[in-house]
Amino acid sequence: MITPRNDGGKTSFCCRHFYFENAPPSFQSAYLYIRLMASSSFPFFTRTLLDWYEPERRPLAWKHITDPYLIWLSEIILQQTRAEQGAPYFQKFSECYPTVSDLARAAEDEVMKMWEGLGYYSRARNLHAAAKFIHTEYGGVFPDDYERIRALKGVGPYTAAAIASFAFQLPYAVVDGNVYRLLSRFFDDATPIDISQGIKHFAGLAQELLPKDSAATYNQAMMDMGATICTPKKPLCEACPLNRECQGLANGTITERPVKVKKLKRSTRYFNYLVVQHPDFRMIEKRTAKDIWRNLYQFPLVETKASLDTLSQLLEEQSWPDWLLAENLQLIRKLGPRKQELTHQRIIADFWEFKYIGNRPDRLPEGINLIKPENCSKFAFPKVISWYFDDNSLYLF
């Protein structure tokens, strides 16, 4: 319940266990508005969402599932991934690993290969680690309370709330991009969603609106409304059942909500992949450092401060591997650049194809692997290298 408090002339708003001192006007009006609507058993917002929701408005493979493991799997896949892109991966994972113990027993390289193309590979590593934990600590039985779910590696408040409500009907509101957008527009709330105060604010707002006996339906309705009606661009306000009470629509601020105050900074990195080819082998290595694409495979890499034009420039780089002698290499061609945009980084990749003309190496540094050319497809590579393979750019002898 939200209640105002007066403390020496300052107004605070209490939402369960935290207070918001001197909240901005839009912040206060949102809470006051809920209090005014709360005179009926269900506020207009909540009641309208529940009346509007129909599962088939947005048919997805995981909507009718109550198995917490499969719900967890779908939610991890959908982090940073559109539903249309994630659906085939969900199908593939659920068929190959029908239980959490099946996933726990899988080899890491196998899991990473299955994940290839989804990006944000820390999700796959955390998924596999959490599956192992559930298998060993809980005997393969998925935990059924919010706190233990939240404690799993890679599970944040949103994912924990989704699993708790969809699998166990527990009263926890989900808060994701769809929810931020829907609430900030409906209440015309300019509280930034990318600062701690704003995160707590919208979490409290969502929780107050949650019908305790219909948590799963309400949460799904919120996500479906945000995904199909209250979309980031060109929202369908005329078709929205909430439009008659929507403060953002009334005030003409729909396109200004939600508010973010932090600007994304993206650095550029230049990768030069050494595609060393021989009729009997290819050279690859595993990325093990704490960096992007950890535990994925790649060709030996020379990272530079800018794009390079000639082989002589590449050979002069200090990061050129001293174990790979130039006298054993014959340049075939240079392909690229290929560009891959990540959240905080832009990768510009060039592929230098060499024919290996020396004797087969007897000693290689730890981490460098010689694999048969036909086995390249068994390893998980970053998307930029997968694109290279898909273009049939690999020179064949």
In the structure encoding, which two tokens stand for residue 107, read together? 């080899």
Task: Describe the chain by its helix, strand, coil percentages, rounded to 5.
Answer: 45, 15, 40
Prior bond to 192 cis, omega within 30?
A: no
Annotated catalytic, 327? no
CA angle 89, 348, 378 (to 5 degrees): 40
Catalytic position from the list 75, 116, 208, 353: 75
CA distance 198 to 192: 5
What residue type is 249 in one-letter code?
L
CA distance 179 to 104: 32
Whether the Cβ atoms of residue 115 and residue 133 lie closer than 8 Å to each other = no
Whether the Cβ atoms of residue 89 and residue 77 lie closer than 8 Å to each other = yes
| CA dihedral (22, 27, 31, 36) positive or negative | positive
Burial category of 39 from C-beta neighbours within 10 Å (exposed 0-12, middle 13-18, buried 19 and up)? exposed
Whether the Cβ atoms of residue 114 and residue 86 lie closer than 8 Å to each other = no
List of residues 6+ apart from 361 with CB closer than 8 A: 370
CA distance 165 to 180: 18
Q: What are phi and psi of 5, to 5 degrees?
A: -130, 140
Task: Kindly give the residue spans of alpha helices, DSSP state H, lying in the chain.
Answer: 25-37, 44-52, 68-78, 83-96, 100-105, 108-115, 122-137, 146-150, 157-168, 177-186, 196-209, 215-228, 247-251, 311-315, 383-390
Cite the active site residues: 75
